[in-house]
Amino acid sequence: MSTYRVRQISELLGVSDDTVRRWAESGRLPASRDEAGRVTVEGADLAAFADVLAAQAVPPLPRRISRTSAGNRLTGLVTRVDRDGMMARVEMRCGPFRLVSVMTSESVDELELEPGALAVASVESHDIVVEVPGN
């Protein structure tokens, strides 16, 4: 199982290192210490915590995009894997974003995807839906 340190957690969740430390010290984020005394969190615990945070989050306000690329890569945590025979549904939290990918169960096994695993989602889309936020 993957284990994450404060800096990695802060980058994955989009918060400061101090916020992660406060969550760990208060018991809100289940944490322990490694041999060197550094705060660590098990991947499955972090995935569950990311889901709780996302459920409580206020959707971000739309921002102007200044640059983009055809292949967008988002690093995040696998929060759920649902298998149905040959196919599997993999859910990830990448900062404030929730991504869902459908792939073969064989791919899930080869990539060792499970809740708490670190993964990179490469998003390539040929159809883009554009929406305008309401008042």
pLDDT tens digits for the chain (135 residues)?
Answer: 689 999 999 998 888 999 999 999 999 999 999 999 999 999 999 999 998 887 776 555 445 545 545 457 788 899 999 999 999 999 999 888 899 999 999 999 999 999 999 998 888 776 666 777 776
For residue 70, what pLDDT is reported? 41
pTM assigned to the model:
0.60
CA separation for the pair 33, 86 (Å, rounded):
39
- Domain ranges across the chain: 3-56, 72-123
What is the CATH T-level fold of the domain 3-56, as seen in this structure? Multidrug-efflux Transporter Regulator; Chain: A; Domain 2 (1.10.1660)
pLDDT tens, position by position, 14-43? 889 999 999 999 999 999 999 999 999 999
CATH architecture of 72-123: Beta Barrel (2.40)
